Structure 1
Amino acid sequence: MFDFVRKHTRVMQFLLFLLIFPSFVLFGLEGYNSFREGGATVATVDGQDITQGDWDAAHRSQVERMRSSMPNVDVKLFDTPEAKYSTLERLVRDRLLQVAASQLRLGASDSRLAAELQQNPTIAALRRADGTLDMDRYRQLLATQGMSPESFEAQVRADLAARQVMSGVGVTSFSSVALADVTLNAFYEQRQVQVARFAPGNYLSQINPTDAELETYYKANADKFQSAERADIEYVVLNLAAVQKDIVVPEAELKTYFEQNAARLAGLEERRASHILINADKAAPAAERDAARTKAQALLVDVQKSPAQFAELARKNSQDTGSAAKGGDLDFFGRGAMVKSFEEAAFALKKGEISGLVETEFGFHIIRLTDIKQPEQKSFESQRAKLEQEVRAQLAQRKFAEAAEQFTNLVYEQSDGLKPAAERLKLDVQYASNLAREPVAGNTAANNPKLLAVVFSPDSIEKKRNTEAVELAPNVLAAARITRYSPARTLPFDEVKARVREQVVAQQANDRARAEGAVKLAEWKASPDAAKLSAVIVISREAKQAQPNVLVEAALRASTQALPSWVGVDLGASGYAVVKVEKVLPRDAANAAGLARERDQYAQWWASAEGLAYYKLLKEKFKAEIKIARL
């Protein structure tokens, strides 16, 4: 099929035109876009669909949030079926809580929204020295996430409303002390026991299976004796480094770049100032602001009379608690760090000068410029290496986009091998052997899960043609071709006979241990004095005495209506155990602080259980359903 397409490109273009054009006439472009963008429905909430596209977008957003909060984290950790399914569950939960909040008419006031935004550490980092928010940086930050301040704040408001749905359950949850003590006493109860273990290792010498038994087990468990499919491949990687190595930056272009970026390379001028602030909120009554202005004007007269006393006057009179103790010193700052009127005044002064009265939204300032830090003008030669690196990187980025398109087309159009693409783009053909579907240790492209997925696709295995170009990481493309393929197969009996025997012996020894344990349990119940048991030990969920969890749970769940009580425990691959429960002991007496802490923990468990029950009720009420199985 693909051979025909390659050889009859023009014919196929004409046929596709005849097929697609009438469809556009009948259904319109919008229909195509909605079909392409929506995708299959993966979940529903209150009759509203959540599509594959919604899910993909939510997961990308989640990964980006994690990447921005933890820059060094390996994003591959989030590129797993489990992580993606978790995103879908979170998406369904968010939609469900939004629907419930709407139905319950829950909302968030402006003051509650403002308080939430003030607590956001990312937004807090955008505040200037005077406490005001840098709106330009705020908008830029949101723009990188595809949001405006209005849409972000609407989202936060919706989240606050959704939180109220579940928080109402949590704050009203109640657990009595009596109920907590009954439950905790039962959970932490101790039991005095004796144990007899029947380990498979004790019976290994008694097991000698016949060849017939081995062959029977081999045939019944052939899937345990298979060799994994393997492949040898050739592959080519296109990345920025491969593109950048041949780039030569012209001298003229380098000098032009230097001239265009001279200001950035030199840095920005910074100024150091001290100020005296008399507070007067912008929203304060006019009389209050007039009084503050009068006080500030009087201070300005004192400062102008005795400029050397500026620091002392600031300590005594400034209402800026952050700088008053330091004589009003604000340290060095650049443009954009202060509110506009303060900045304009500070940058208009000469060193040592004192401003007039400067009015801002915070009140009235008297500013003294104490120092100026001029940016250092750097020479072209001193910056040459840095400039060349930056220009090469920019040129490489542009060239990579062109090379990526070439690479993608070449590996598809000349699919019998990777050599043409490698020669055209001056890349090396690399080789890897004995690869399996699952990546092994090693940081090479051949071990990348995305590349292995296309290498072991049915079309790649069957036709041994080039795979499509796969993006392994930003600015990294790769394509591969299978040169030798070995399918999975059941290994011959003679080749795995030793492994078969090992498994048969282990299974039969385990069977014998369980059988003897069950016999002894029956015998010792009838004749307790004949029992051969370990020394007495006291076990609990807190102190398991090196006993397996399944044994401890069985002993603690055993009936104590008539003591001693006997119980048999299947330990799986570890054999069998017989437990004699002799006495029930109360839990260790906890101190007052420990007891209070345990009761608080129980109350949290109880609240969590009520929350889960309420969430389940909401899912049923609003018909929230995930339509795909857990991956």
Structure 2
Amino acid sequence: MRNGLEKKWAKVVLAIIVVPFALFGIDSYLNSMGSNVTVASVNNFEITAQDFQRSMMVLQERLDAEGQDRSILESPEFRKSVIDSLVDSQLIKSAVDKYNFRISDDQLSTYIVGMPDFQENGKFSQDRYDQIVQYNGLTPKKLEQQIRGDMATQQIQGTLANLTYFPKKNIEEIAKIAYQKRHVKLYDMLLLDYEDKIKVSDDEIKEFYEANTDSFIRPDQVKIEFVVYSVANIVPNVNVTDEEVKEFYEFNKQNYEGDEERSASHILFMADASQSDEEVEKVRQKASDVLKDLKKDPKKFEEYAKDLSQDPESAKNGGSLGFFKRGVMVKEFEESAFTLNKGEISDLVRTDFGFHIIRLDDVKGDQVSYKDVKAQVKGELLYGKALEIYNTNAEDFSNIVYEQKESLDPVIKKYNLDVQQSPWMSKADAENFFNNPVFAEAVFDQTIIDSKFNTPAIEVSPNNLVSARVVDFRESEAQALDDVKDEIKTFLTKRNSQENLINDGNKLVEGLQDGSAKEPKWIDELTIDRSDKQGLSDVIAEEIFKMNSSNLPIYSGIYDPKGEFMVIKLDKVDSESILEEDVEFFNEEFMAAIEKEIEKSYVEDLRAESKVKINSKFLQFAQ
């Protein structure tokens, strides 16, 4: 069966003890595993890399369960939000202790007994409770401690929610505004049409230059030569044999199974190491008897699964485990499930969980052969070997560029590297060169500039080490007019075009409003609301909902930085066709938004009162 029985029950426990991520982030279940790397600290409490990695694993499980793309986990912004959530979680836990929020034994007992996940046939089941504790590697005391802590945390949530109040009689009017539909006609005037008509003279350029000389100071600049020691450069020099590729594939076969998925059902008869040989044999005999019956009458499978299976989650569904790929189930279960034909029932399968009777229900997706993935496997093996060489030599590379800092030649010769040259770069250019501010600081260090020594080796990105030396330097100075003439011309063209466009647009709006102008040929006619802007930009939609609708029609205009002036005619507003259920829904959303803001402000206050430090270096290289 599935690492899946464990995973399903783990999700049950997490569902119990995780405080909602929107406010409190990853819960206190993610304890430190002794890592020395500190991701963040809250007062004297350290949040470790182990906490961070466990948080990411929980989120990955959640995304996989919901069928979401896990690539979001690689975003630096997302990772920062995870760390912030861990910090917020610790701030809340500290507040629980500080303000003496406590859960009594009776409250805890009532809560646990009443939880559906610990019940069978509508009643609390001690066996089910013990199974969940066991399969999550916890003790009852530890689980109850976690639940107690998170119940106390949610007491704070409840207290904050009680601060939220808004008179219900006012909700309907606000809901009408929120769901209001506005009918508009649109006419756009394009900036490009105006730019074609603008002529900027040399005198205008010179006048602008002389009035803004401080804006045309070229900053300090350097030219550098540099070398890159990277995994990518090592790969072409690595060789692997077909035998190595085949061996690697067989060892990691579960990673190359394509998109084939199998749906199976099972009946579990639990038997584990805590039972005696006699007890295990009794379980095996019972399972064998059931298997004989099923071989005679396979249609009884769902009935037996519901009545006899000791996997309570799948038993509810006639034993169904749904679709799964290779690598999800434990090895013995997987080997059986992936050799069965559709509708076939297996012999008894023994795993650490006990004895299984498995039926294959369905197959979808394509199975991938070794031939199909050989090139991919070879590439991964080459990269792996190159990475191993890189890791072995990285320290030596760093030592050479430091100890023989007068030149890059020694490291170039030893590792057969190409020396590269940069154009003139400002410090801002240097930051963008490798998207790494540490590199920019190094090449603009005054000692490096004066001595022409190598910079220390800098890992500008994962598995890419760089060392550079400054070959030329020039101080900041005023740029000559001829050097910036084109830049000024472009700026003045755009600025003058924009001014003319906005002036003409406002004149048209005024003329339409007082009746002195003829209506243009409207390019579009739309009915929009705040949730459906019909493709309009936020700038234009916001202007439409700002327009005073007391005396229709009314005209307005707004310049969109995207390069157009939009003339708007508002001729109809519908605020009446709102259902009672819409009002109720809005009331819930409105109150939830207010509660969220109060909760957010509360956490911000806790941060302000605490000493919070984030390890920015860890965040940078967390990928």
TM-score under structure 1 length normalisation: 0.53
Q: Which of 180, 186, 189 matches 1:189?
A: 180
Contact 2:133/2:143, CA 8 A, preserved across alignment: no
Instruction: In structure 1, give the amino acid aligned to 2:226.
Output: E
Instruction: For 1:440-455, list aligned pairs within 5 A.
Output: 447=434, 449=436, 452-453=439-440
Aligned alpha-carbon RMSD (Å):
6.8
* Alignment coverage as a number of residue pairs: 487
- Whether 1:505 aligns to 2:493 is yes
Match of 1:123 in 2: none
Query: Does the 8 Å contact 1:539/1:552 carry over to 2?
Result: no
Q: Which aligned pairs between 1:173-572 and structure 2 lie closer than 5 A?
A: 179-191=170-182, 200=191, 204=195, 207-220=198-211, 229=221, 231-237=223-229, 239=231, 242=234, 320-321=308-309, 403-424=393-414, 426-434=415-423, 447=434, 449=436, 452-453=439-440, 456-459=443-446, 460-471=448-459, 477-484=465-472, 491-518=479-506, 528-534=514-520, 539-541=527-529, 549-562=538-551, 565=554, 567=556, 569-571=558-560
Q: Tell me if structure 2 keeps the 8 A contact 1:419–1:429.
A: no
Q: What secondary structure, in the 3-state scheme, does the structure 2 residue paired with 1:530 have?
A: coil
Give the Å deviation of 1:560. Answer: 4.2
Q: Secondary structure at the match of 1:514?
A: helix
Question: Map of 1:113-124 to 2, 5 A cutoff?
Answer: none
Equivalence for 1:93: 88
Q: Which residue of 2 aligns with 1:77?
A: 75
2:402 aligned partner, one-letter code: Y
1:534 aligned counterpart, secondary structure: coil
CA contact 1:240–1:400 (8 Å) conserved in 2: no
Show CA shifts across 1:355-399 (max 9, x none): xxx9x999xx999xxxxxxxxxxxxxxxxxxxxx99999999887
Question: Whole-Å Cα distance in 2 between the matches of residues 395 and 208 of structure 1?
Answer: 61
CA positional deviation for 1:413: 1.1
Paired with 2:332 and 2:456, the residues of 1 have a C-alpha distance of: 50
Q: CA deviation at 1:511?
A: 2.3
Q: Which amino acid aligns with 1:162?
A: T
How far residue 607 of structure 1 moved from its aligned partner, in angstroms, is: 0.9
Counterpart-to-counterpart distance in 2, 1:117 and 1:242: 56
The structural deviation recorded for 1:558 is: 3.2
Asked whether the equivalents of residues 43 and 624 of structure 1 are also in contact (C-alpha less than 8 Å), the reply is: no
* Shift of residue 610, structure 1, vs aligned partner: 1.9
Provide Cα deviations, 1:517-541, integer angstroms capped at 9, x if missing partner: 555666666xx23133336856543
1:59-98 Cα offsets, whole Å, 9 max, x none, are 67766877898998498732xxx56764564344223321
Equivalent position amino acid for 2:591 in 1: W
What are structure 1's unaligned runs of at least 5 residues?
1-35, 120-130, 143-147, 259-263, 266-274, 284-291, 327-333, 339-352, 368-388
Q: CA deviation at 1:298?
A: 11
Whole-Å separation in 2 of the counterparts to 1:231 and 1:91 = 43
**One-letter identity of the residue aligned with 2:452:** K
Shift of the 279–182 alpha-carbon distance from structure 1 to 2, 3 Å rule, reads same
Counterparts of 1:194 and 1:366, CA distance in 2? 67
Give the CA deviation at 1:180.
Answer: 4.4
Listed one character per residue, the Cα deviations across residues 161-190 of structure 1 (whole Å, up to 9, x for unaligned) are: 435533676699788886444223223434
CA distance in 1, matches of 2:380, 2:553: 81
Contact residue 198 and residue 514 of structure 1 kept, 8 A = no
Asked if 1 retains the 8 angstrom alpha-carbon contact of 2:454 and 2:468, the reply is yes
Identity %: 17
Query: In the alignment, which residue of structure 2 is the partner of 1:28?
Result: none
Cα separation, partners in 2 of 1:193 and 1:411, compared to 1, 3 Å? closer
Distance in 2 (CA, whole Å) between partners of 1:169 and 1:477 is 50
1:209/1:505 contact within 8 Å kept: yes
Letter in 1 for 2:395: E
276 and 197 in structure 1: CA distance in 2 versus 1, 3 angstrom threshold: closer
Q: Is the contact made by 1:439 and 1:447 (CA closer than 8 Å) also made in structure 2? A: no
In 1, Cα distance between equivalents of 2:182 and 2:285? 83
Deviation string for 1:320-341 (max 9, x for gaps)? 3389x99xxxxxxx99979xxx
CA, structure 1 residues 242+37, in 2 after alignment: closer, same or farther (shift >3 Å)? closer
Query: Within 1, Cα distance between the matches of 2:385 and 2:198?
Result: 72
**In structure 2, C-alpha distance between the alignment counterparts of 1:210 and 1:72, rounded to whole Å:** 55
Shift of 1:55: 8.7
Query: Aligned residue for 1:611?
Result: 596
Corresponding letter in the other structure for 1:534:
P
Q: Give 1:428's aligned amino acid.
A: L
Contact between 2:449 and 2:473, CA under 8 Å: does it hold in 1? yes
Please, what TM-score do these two structures have when normalized by structure 2? Answer: 0.54
Q: CA deviation at 1:224?
A: 7.0
The answer on 1:162 being equivalent to 2:153 is yes
* Residue identity matched to 2:598: A
How far off is 1:612 after superposition? Answer: 1.4
Give the stretch that moved more between structures: 213-222 or 314-323: 314-323
- Distance, in Å, in 2 between the alignment partners of 1:178 and 1:112 is 35
SS at match of 2:490: helix
Inter-partner Cα distance in structure 2 for 1:317 and 1:539: 58
Listed one character per residue, the Cα deviations across residues 592-628 of structure 1 (whole Å, up to 9, x for unaligned) are 6xx7367425522421222212442464478546889
Q: Please report how far the alpha carbon of residue 479 of structure 1 lies from its aligned counterpart in structure 2 after TM superposition.
A: 2.7
Equivalence for 1:105: 102
1:573–1:223: structure 2 CA closer, same or farther, 3 Å change rule? farther
The DSSP-based 3-state class of the residue aligned with 1:604 is helix
- 2:520 maps to a residue whose letter is S
**One-letter amino acid matched to 2:175:** L
Q: Helix, strand or coil: the match of 1:532?
A: coil
1:474 to partner: Cα distance: 6.1
CA distance in 2, matches of 1:475, 1:600: 51
Q: CA deviation at 1:492?
A: 3.1
Q: Is the 8 A contact 2:182 2:529 kept in 1?
A: no
Residue 237 (structure 1) shift: 0.9
CA contact (8 A) 2:185 2:568 kept: yes
Partner Cα distance (2:594, 2:308) in 1: 50
What secondary structure is seen at the aligned counterpart in 1 of 2:422? Answer: strand
Distance apart, 1:478 and its partner CA? 3.8
Q: Secondary structure in 1 aligned to 2:308?
A: coil
Distance (Å, rounded) in 2 between the aligned partners of 1:199 and 1:308: 79
CA distance in 1 between counterparts of 2:533 and 2:382 reads 64
Secondary structure of 1:434's counterpart equals coil
